[in-house]
Structures are given as structure tokens and as C-alpha cells.
């Protein structure tokens, strides 16, 4: 006995389903490519707003400067520093004081720059300190100069 089996036609499906499947495959491929691209793209970070540092009040700046001058006098009287280093530190302290108080940076100004500017009081002080500040040995009286500086800090306008 012989059996015969009829072959079914190839692609018995409706062509509409093949088109729908192709479109779904292409859409999912595009979706995954876009997902991959956006995931790998570096994100732009918003810069954080930097708050300006709080400006100390004039009284606080004066107090801080007076304490630094007192510390210099103490260190010199206890032989922790020498006169030359004390004058150099005093110059740095006064330049910082004027910079903080006026808002104009005078820490890097030369004596000529200070004399030409509106900082005549500071220029006068620093000109008196130049000899002891740069000399290896000096007869200058640091404690008396520091006291004058303290008076100037208290009366600075």
C-alpha cells in the first residue's frame, strides 16, 4: 500500500503578517540602538552655583589682625622668631588686612605701587619696615613698630 502526502505550499502565511513582523523587528532594533546611544552619551552636569564667601565684618577683620600682631610680639619676646622674620610677617599681615578691608589686593604690590595708590598709610609703614625686613641684622625696635601698627589698625578708616 502506498501513501501519498501532499506537500503544503511554502509560506502559507499571509504576507501581511510577514510585513508586520518585519516592521516590529525594525522598530525594536531602532529602540535598542537609541537606548544604547543615549545611555553611553555623557550627561551634561549643571555647574553648582558657588556662593561667594561671607565677607567678615570690619570689626572681625580688625580683631583678627590685632590678634596676629599680638602673636608676633609674643613669638619675638619668647625667641621663637627673629626680628627680620617678624617684620616680614608684619608686612604680610598688614597687606592682608588692607586687602580684606578694602577689597583691593595689595599683597603683591611693591612699595612704589603702594605709594602711587590710595594706600598712603600702608606705604608709609612698609617703607619704615623695609630696612629691618631685608637686612640680616638690624637695630630696629619691632615691639614699638608693632604697637604703632596696632594703633593704625584700630584707627584705619
User: With 80 as the cut, is the pLDDT of residue 46 above it?
Assistant: no
CA distance 6 to 135: 118
Q: What is the pLDDT of residue 26?
A: 97
CA distance 38 to 32: 10
- Please state the pTM of the whole predicted model: 0.62
In residues, how long is the chain? Answer: 157
Instruction: Compute and round to an integer the Cα radius of gyration of the chain.
Output: 40
Residue closest to 53 by CA, chosen among 103, 88, 17: 103
Q: What is the pLDDT of residue 9?
A: 66
* Section 18-28 average pLDDT: 94
Most distant CA pair in the chain, distance? 136
CA distance 18 to 153: 91
Amino acid at each position: 500500500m502506498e501513501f501519498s502526502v501532499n506537500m503544503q505550499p511554502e509560506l502559507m502565511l499571509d504576507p501581511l503578517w510577514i510585513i508586520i513582523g518585519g516592521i516590529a523587528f525594525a522598530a525594536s532594533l531602532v529602540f535598542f540602538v537609541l537606548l544604547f546611544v543615549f545611555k553611553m552619551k555623557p550627561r551634561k552636569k549643571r555647574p553648582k552655583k558657588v556662593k561667594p564667601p561671607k565677607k567678615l565684618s570690619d570689626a572681625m577683620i580688625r580683631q583678627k589682625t590685632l590678634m596676629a600682631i599680638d602673636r608676633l610680639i609674643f613669638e619675638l619676646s619668647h625667641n621663637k622668631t627673629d626680628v627680620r622674620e617678624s617684620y616680614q610677617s608684619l608686612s604680610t599681615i598688614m597687606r592682608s588686612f588692607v586687602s580684606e578691608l578694602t577689597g583691593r589686593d595689595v599683597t603683591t604690590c611693591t612699595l612704589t605701587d603702594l605709594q602711587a595708590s590710595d594706600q598712603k598709610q600702608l606705604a608709609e609703614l612698609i617703607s619704615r619696615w623695609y630696612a629691618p625686613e631685608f637686612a640680616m641684622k638690624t637695630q630696629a625696635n619691632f615691639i614699638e613698630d608693632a604697637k604703632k601698627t596696632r594703633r593704625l589698625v584700630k584707627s584705619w578708616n
